[in-house]
């Protein structure tokens, strides 16, 4: 590209000019001298007749002039040469024949120019972006960190935006104070922890807490998921770990946050959980970087995981992750604080209090509560309301816990009757037994994927300990639906499938984990294992700690507990058959019984008779 007299001449202008010149040259060659192209057979005839002169014979082309051209006709001619032996043979047969003319200059140039131009266009529009931004870019920057950097102006989350985890916030306040004023902590020889691991269930706010630390301290925030370190090329993850910490040291004080640490720091050599060489090299490099941390550098590593049981022990030892902070599900007070933050974003009815909504949501995490508030606002919008009421929150809880209401799923009359007795069996047993969570709603409207009816119990308070009697009563409530079917229809249905699974798991935990079976002693035969760590069918990660005789005794004890709970449910419902029929008929008529109707039914029960029932 050149510049002349203030005007810019592009490379493509030169190409077009050359093509025009070649095209004009071909035209001049064809028409400039009034040249006629004739077949070679005619040329031979004209030669024999002596009508041509001034011949110019080339390797492929013969040109000449007519001795006696006609008026207005061409004065010269040209013809393509043909092999003499072939021409002689064809002439004997009296055929007309001609040679193949060579391509013109323009045609020759286009023959090599157009493919080249096509390749350049393909490169510019397809290959070049892929190379610069895709595979080629990966190869050129294969060891570079993909960390997303948030500076102070970007990280606007503070501890005021985090609620329900006061203990975790108090621990992290020290990190903020150290990053702001390290001298006040170093005067007595203390140094900031190298690594802090946030542990807790999904949705409890671990990532939000990490961002709040960066926002409070006003330092760069390097955020990266553990899975981003692992690539198909061996050594890439280790290179990215080195690059990430180099960037953090260059901008210290800073915070490095690795989310989903379990994908990077999984235990090495743990049977089925063993990773390949790339993951192990990446973990080894992370351990080396933590060992090389200068406590005075002002770089803090924050990690987050919901699966601490799979982390490598070398990663959790003191000197690497010095602190482990539990970010657990909030209690009722914590849920109330979290809801106070989210309820500001919607138009709330004056009578709705955060504590009332918190009472509906035991076991909900912060993410669940945010979703609940949004669902309640959607429910209120759907009915064209001016504000969100407590009933909207109740419907939102039911939708989240039980599933979407499906009024179009039609059951035949017998099935509806079975479901009504089944659900009222749950409700009556729950209302008859002491210490059970109050029944808030009973419905035979199908919800979710497989639920054709449901009974909702709402806890009065958060519970952290359960006695043996309470666990047995809970199993009895679970089997109350099947007991009602047996008493009314003298038959059982598949509607109790989920109840049986829950009751069996509860009974097995009582026997194998809680030591609540006297015949087996105060022994924990199986450790608690997270649901996502359940081994595939036929495989065991740990050898069984007991023999066949003990396994048989466990099965017998589990069955004994479930059978006793089923008999207890029948014993509760047997004297209340008239009330069971009456309440089931009301449920069939209204499809849903709310707390007021359920209170009247509860007052009709006979506590003296059910109090004597025990397992």
Active site residues per annotation: 423
Which two tokens mark 465? 């300990």
- Residue 197, classed as helix, strand or coil, is strand
Q: Which long-range contacts (CB under 8 A, 24 or more apart) does 3-9 make?
A: none
Could you tell me the CA-to-CA distances from 452 to 114, 399, 488, 590, 597 in Å, in that order? Answer: 69, 14, 19, 15, 21
- Residue written as tokens 């509906």? 360
> Cα torsion for 216, 219, 225, 230, to the nearest 10°?
-160
> How far from the centroid of its chain's Cα atoms is residue 603's Cα?
49
Rounded to whole angstroms, the Cα distance separating 68 from 75 reads 8
Residues 6+ positions from 4 with CB-CB distance below 8 Å: none
Collapsing DSSP states into helix, strand and coil, what is residue 20? helix
Instruction: Read off φ and ψ for residue 5, nearest 5 degrees.
Output: 55, 35
The DSSP secondary-structure symbol of 179 reads H
How far is residue 286's CA from residue 265's CA, in Å, rounded to a whole number? 9
274-304 burial: b if 16+ Cβ within 10 Å, else e: ebeebbbbbbbbbbebbeebeeebbbbbbbb
Nearest-angstrom CA–CA distance, 517 and 500: 20
Q: Which of 546, 432, 439 is nearest to 483 (CA)?
A: 432
Cα 303 vs. chain centroid, distance in angstroms? 19
Q: 62 - beta bridge partners?
A: 57, 79
Cα–Cα distance measured from residue 182 to residue 185, given in angstroms and rounded to the nearest whole number? 5
For residue 184, CA distances in Å to 175, 178, 181, 191, 300 come to: 12, 8, 6, 10, 17
DSSP string, 1-22: -EEETTEEE-HHHHHHHHHHHH
The DSSP code for 124 is I
Helix (H, G, I), strand (E, B) or coil at 344: helix
* H-state helical runs in 256-384: 277-291, 313-316, 332-342, 354-359, 366-382
Angle at 480 between CA 474 and CA 486, to 5 degrees: 150
H or E segment to which residue 105 belongs = helix 105-122
Within 13 A of 18's CA, how many CA atoms are on the CB side? 11
The candidate with the shortest Cα–Cα distance to 334, out of 355, 318, 312, is 355
Residue 566: which residues within 8 A CB-CB, separation 6 or more? 479, 482, 483
């Amino acid at each position: 590209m050149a510049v002349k007299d203030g005007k810019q001449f592009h490379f493509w202008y030169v190409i077009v000019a050359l093509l025009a010149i070649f095209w004009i040259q071909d035209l001049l060659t064809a028409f400039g001298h009034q040249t006629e192209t004739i077949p070679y057979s005619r040329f031979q005839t004209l030669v024999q007749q002596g009508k041509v002169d001034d011949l110019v014979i080339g390797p492929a082309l013969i040109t000449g002039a007519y001795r006696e051209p006609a008026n207005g006709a061409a004065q010269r001619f040209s013809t393509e040469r043909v092999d003499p032996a072939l021409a002689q043979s064809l002439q004997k047969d009296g055929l007309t024949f001609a040679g193949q003319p060579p391509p013109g200059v323009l045609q020759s140039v286009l023959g090599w120019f157009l493919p080249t131009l096509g390749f350049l266009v393909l490169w510019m529009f397809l290959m070049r972006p892929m190379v610069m931004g895709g595979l080629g870019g990966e190869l050129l920057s294969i060891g570079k960190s993909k960390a997303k950097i948030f500076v102070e102006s970007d990280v606007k989350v503070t501890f005021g935006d985090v609620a329900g985890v006061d203990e975790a916030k108090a621990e992290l306040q020290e990190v903020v104070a150290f990053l702001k004023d390290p001298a006040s902590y170093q005067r007595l020889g203390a140094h900031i922890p190298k690594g802090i691991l946030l542990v807790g269930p999904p949705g409890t706010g671990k990532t939000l807490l990490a961002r709040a630390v960066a926002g409070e301290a006003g330092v760069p925030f390097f955020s990266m998921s553990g899975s981003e370190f692992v690539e198909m090329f061996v050594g890439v993850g280790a290179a990215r770990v080195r690059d990430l910490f180099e960037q953090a040291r260059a901008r210290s004080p800073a915070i490095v946050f690795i989310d989903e640490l379990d994908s990077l720091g999984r235990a090495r050599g743990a049977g089925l959980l063993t990773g390949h060489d790339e993951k192990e090299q990446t973990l080894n490099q992370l351990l080396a970087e933590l060992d090389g941390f200068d406590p005075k550098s002002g770089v803090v590593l924050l990690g987050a995981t919901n699966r601490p049981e799979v982390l490598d022990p070398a990663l959790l030892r003191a000197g690497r992750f010095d602190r482990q902070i539990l970010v657990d599900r909030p209690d009722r007070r914590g849920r109330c604080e979290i809801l106070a933050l989210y309820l500001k974003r919607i138009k709330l009815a004056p009578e709705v209090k955060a504590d009332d909504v918190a009472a509906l949501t035991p076991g909900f995490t912060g993410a669940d509560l945010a979703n609940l508030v949004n669902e309640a606002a959607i429910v209120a919008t759907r009915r064209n309301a001016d504000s969100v009421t407590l009933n909207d929150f109740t419907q939102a809880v039911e939708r989240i816990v039980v599933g979407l209401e499906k009024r179009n799923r039609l059951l035949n009359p017998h099935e509806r009757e079975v479901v009504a007795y089944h659900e009222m069996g749950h409700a009556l047993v729950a209302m008859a037994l002491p210490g059970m969570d109050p029944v808030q709603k009973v419905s035979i409207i199908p919800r979710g994927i497989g639920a054709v009816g449901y009974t909702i119990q709402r806890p009065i308070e958060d519970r952290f300990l359960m006695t043996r009697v309470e666990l047995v009563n809970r199993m009895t409530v679970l089997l109350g639906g099947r007991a009602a079917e047996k008493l009314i229809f003298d038959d059982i249905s598949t509607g109790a499938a989920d109840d049986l699974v829950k009751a069996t798991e509860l009974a097995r935990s009582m026997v194998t984990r809680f030591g609540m079976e006297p015949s087996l002693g105060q022994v924990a035969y199986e450790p608690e294992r997270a649901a996502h760590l359940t081994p595939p069918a036929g495989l065991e990660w740990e050898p069984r700690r007991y023999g066949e005789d003990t396994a048989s005794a466990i099965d017998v004890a589990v069955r004994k507990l479930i059978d006793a709970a089923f008999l207890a449910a029948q014993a509760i419902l047997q004297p209340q058959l008239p009330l069971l029929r009456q309440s089931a008929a009301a449920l069939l008529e209204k499809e849903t019984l709310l707390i007021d109707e359920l209170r009247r039914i509860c007052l009709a029960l006979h506590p003296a008779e059910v109090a004597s029932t025990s397992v």
